[in-house]
Amino acid sequence: MPNEHSNAEDKPRRIVIIVVAVIAAVLIGGFFYLLLRRTMDTPQTTQLQDAIRPGGPQWDDYSKRIVLDDPPDCPEEGARFCATESKRALGDTVMTLTATVRNFTGKTIVGLEIRGFVVDHDGKPVKDKTIVIIPTRQAELDPNKTMKASVLIDGLTDNDDRADVRMEVTAFKLR
């Protein structure tokens, strides 16, 4: 007789435990989904505030004096910018564009925004990314000094037409 009595009480208890476990699994799964989504969607590109931009009064004077060159340790000879690419486990391709920034403005650069982009054979951008190099990665760049700048472009596929890579200064601040 004790077996019949305990089976009758265990069935509702078992259902409650299963329901609570399913609800907990859904909540934990939702938490991790939101956490991963937030970290992947967080824009790493910020815009440099109060900067000199194309069309501004000082742009023509100084933009020609902030030069992006091929870094000396680049394996590609003769390329203006160094690009390395690698596959990720997610299935996409990541490209890292690297250049040497040279400051010939005669002033200290206290803010620098650079855009890196991949173009197809028609010269149209396939993917691009704009990042703030100074002051986020380095405090400033003194006159006649250099620094290395890298832009990470992710989300490229095997079907993307990747003919060339380019980098350009999109904004800067001087002191």
Instruction: Give tens-digit pLDDT for 156-167.
Output: 888 888 888 889
Distance separating alpha carbons of residues 89 and 168, to the nearest angstrom: 30
pTM listed for this prediction: 0.68
Q: Is 32 helix (H, G, I), strand (E, B) or coil?
A: helix
Measure the CA–CA gap between 95 and 117, rounded to whole angstroms. Answer: 10
Does residue 95 contact residue 83 with C-beta atoms inside 8 Å? yes
Cα gap 56→170, rounded to integer Å: 12
* 81, two tokens: 């910018």
The model's confidence at residue 40, banded by pLDDT at 50, 70 and 90, is low
**In the chain, domain spans:** 1-42, 59-174
* CATH code for the part of the protein at 59-174: 2.60.40
Compute the chain's Rg from CA coordinates. 26
Chain segment 127-172, per-residue pLDDT in tens: 999 999 988 888 899 999 999 999 999 888 888 888 888 899 999 9
